[in-house]
């Protein structure tokens, strides 16, 4: 158990039967009444954010979330397979546990699986991932405003906006936080 007065950003707790990460917290001591802690919590499983208030001194259960470095191998139907890099054990993970991060998966990419009590609850992707551009239209002469962009299809089927100078066959870096072009690789 952990006291709410000891909250820190990034702390994982179990609250209302779900696992949350503390995003923000604020200790409030009003002129009248007792002190309280106002905090913003992010659900680890589905990514929703809630705001809640705890009375000062209340204890909540700390959740021990484990991160394991894994390598993505392949998928078969709705199961995605990852390999532990030290023991070479393979784990099959359901598509629902990965969520929207599926669109950034690429064979042999190294990432972290987030686990709670032996169950996979999510993935932590690297900040940027390198992809091969498989299809894009050539730049049109005269279409050169300061921030002209065009669509490019990547090797995993993801479509991103890229600058006009990017051509088919080039490798680019894509930011996994927002799915945008970052730079050439």
Q: Would you list the domain boundaries of the chain? A: 2-62, 65-124, 128-184
pLDDT score at 45: 74
For the entire predicted model, the pTM comes to 0.69
Structure tokens at 152: 């490019």
CATH code, residues 128-184: 2.40.50.140
The two beta strands, 128-136 and 149-154, are antiparallel
Task: Kindly indicate whether the domain formed by 65-124 is annotated with CATH number 2.40.50.140.
Answer: yes
Is the predicted pLDDT of residue 49 greater than 80, yes or no?
yes
| 178 Cβ contact list (under 8 Å, min separation 6) | none
Which tens digit of pLDDT belongs to each residue from 92-129?
A: 888 877 777 888 888 888 988 888 887 887 788 888 88
- φ, ψ at 40 (rounded to 5°): -110, 125
β partners of residue 173 = 130, 183
> Domain 2-62 is of which CATH architecture?
Roll (2.30)
């Amino acid at each position: 158990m952990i006291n709410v007065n000891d909250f820190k950003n990034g702390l994982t707790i179990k609250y209302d039967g779900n696992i949350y990460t503390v995003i923000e917290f604020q200790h409030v001591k009003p002129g009248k009444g007792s002190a309280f802690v106002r905090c913003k919590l992010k659900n680890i499983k589905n990514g929703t954010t809630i705001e809640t208030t705890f009375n000062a001194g209340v204890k909540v259960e700390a959740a021990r979330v484990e991160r394991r470095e894994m390598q993505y191998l392949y998928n078969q139907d709705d199961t995605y397979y990852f390999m532990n890099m030290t023991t070479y054990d393979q784990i099959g993970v359901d598509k629902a546990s990965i969520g929207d991060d599926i669109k950034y998966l690429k064979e042999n990419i190294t990432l972290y699986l987030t686990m709670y009590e032996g169950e996979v609850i999510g993935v932590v992707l690297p900040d940027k991932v390198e992809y091969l551009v498989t299809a894009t239209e050539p730049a049109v002469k005269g279409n050169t405003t300061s921030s002209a962009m065009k669509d490019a299809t990547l090797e995993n089927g993801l479509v991103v906006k890229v600058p006009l100078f990017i051509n088919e066959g080039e490798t680019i870096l894509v930011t996994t936080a927002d799915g945008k072009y970052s730079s050439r690789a």
